[in-house]
Structure 1
Amino acid sequence: MLYPYRLFISHAWKYGNDYNNLITLLNAAPYFLYRNYSAPEEKPLFPEGTPLTNGKIASKITDKISPTQIVIVISGMYGAYSDWMGYEINEAVRLGKPVLGIYPWGQTRAPQRVLDAADEMVRWNTDSIVGAIRRLVY
């Protein structure tokens, strides 16, 4: 029986292609099961029209990260400017979750805050990503 990993994938909806491509990659990985705790655009943290405060958003993000085993950060340069991605990284560290940084396809740079927090950085490659998840979770 395969062990299902509990993942939180930090991402920015504006750059949903990277997120969707990572999900496709993970779904196609042989002998790899996972449960996705992140909040994709089609399943937002709050129903549309809910009044949002930063405190409520932060609390919901923490609730999503808490049961996971690892936080994965797609480290495109947009991550340098996203306050919520920064919060997710900081929460992962605060909660003692390993952080896996992934360079998006064809990129060689990552925001410094991702490099500083990541327990490991990998290239956009199925074997590299799945291998790093397995190493960091156990």
Structure 2
Amino acid sequence: MAKRLFISHSWEYSERYTSMVSLLNSRKYFDWVNYSVPVDKAFEGMTRAQLQEQLRNQIRPVNCVIIISGMWFNHSDWIQFEMDFANQIGKPVLGVRPRGAKKTPVAIEVGADKTVNWNTESIVDGIREIS
């Protein structure tokens, strides 16, 4: 059965998100459905409350929320919101350290159920383990 995943992202810094999608798509014997909103469907012109509700709607049906820790410093408010909501409704959170990163923000270490390095097998194994 395909895993339903939400990958935390920002369209201003989408290269890590795009890399994550490519990584998951290229993994043999791993079926998944992307519950993140693609760039061409971005929520422009919404209020903060409306965007929060859209994020909740994306996270509710998933098996796992993926947080790429390298985006933390630029988008910590939104990432914290996504992690808090996932934790509140019992959705597992996988933290992923970008290639070459030595440290992970404390909030991700605390909020994630598991944190792995940027490696196809580690990410897929982490998703399977916690979801």
Distance 1:110 1:12, change over 3 A: farther
Secondary structure of the residue aligned to 2:41 is coil
Q: 2 CA distance for matches of 1:127 and 1:66?
A: 26
- Tell whether 2:57 aligns with 1:59: no
Q: 1 CA distance for matches of 2:116 and 2:13?
A: 19
The structure in which a higher percent of residues are helix is 2
Q: Which residue of 2 aligns with 1:95?
A: 89
The amino acid that maps onto 2:9 is: H
Q: Which residue of 1 aligns with 2:72?
A: 79
- Tell whether 2:128 aligns with 1:134: yes
Q: Which has the larger radius of gyration?
A: 1
Percent identity among equivalent residues?
41
TM-score normalised per structure 2: 0.93
Q: Which residue of 2 aligns with 1:9?
A: 7
Count of equivalent residues: 130
The amino acid that maps onto 2:95 is: G
TM-score normalised per structure 1: 0.89
Q: Could you report, residue by residue, the CA deviation over 1:38-92 in whole angstroms, capped at 9, with x for unpaired residues?
A: 1232221x3x5xx42111111010000000011000011x313421111111111
Any unmatched runs of 5+ in structure 1? Answer: none
Q: Which residue of 2 aligns with 1:116?
A: 110
Q: 1 CA distance for matches of 2:130 and 2:56?
A: 20
Q: Which residue of 2 aligns with 1:33?
A: 31
Structure 1 runs, 4 residues or longer, greater than 2 Å off: none
Post-superposition shift, 1:35? Answer: 0.3
Post-superposition shift, 1:112? Answer: 1.4
